[in-house]
Amino acid sequence: MTREQQAMVSKEVHDVRVARWEGFKRLARKLPNHHILSVELIRTRHDETAAVFTVVRHHEPVQYVVMGDARGRVKTYGGEHRAAGAVASMEAITLADGPMNAVDPDIIALGEPPPKEPPPPGIVAVGGGLLAAAFDVGELVQLGSVT
């Protein structure tokens, strides 16, 4: 892909993120607190997993990220959930590997806008369950067992 094509795709991806966020804002104005607007389950380019929750708080949408390992087990550091630093982690990935580009599978959900906020304990609990259910299937599906 040429630089011009990459720039055009990058702009289009940014436009999609902005349009989604504006749609969430319109919807959130009509809904009470704690309504879930979306949940996205993603495997990142570093074989981590993420659950991205878009939730209504004070008639505004907010986003929380729950990060997990490759099998969907929530990542903790010293007993605290890692998602408080999820944005810093994504920035560190970007710095280490070069900028995220428009073809990265996790850019829509994990990129900005919107800014991400540290998840409350309930979101961490639900996110951990969703990540494990979606990504920890190694013991459930055995090679050669599909008929």
Within 8 A by CB and 6+ apart from 111, the residues are 13, 17, 90, 100
Closest CA to 67 of 80, 52, 54: 52
Residue for token digits 């878009």? 54
Q: What is the mean pLDDT of each run of 10 residues along the chain (147 residues)?
A: 82 85 95 94 89 94 93 75 47 43 64 82 94 81 57
N residues, the chain: 147
d(CA 3, CA 58): 41
Model pTM?
0.75
- For residue range 63-96, list pLDDT tens digits in order: 999 999 999 999 875 555 554 444 444 444 443 4
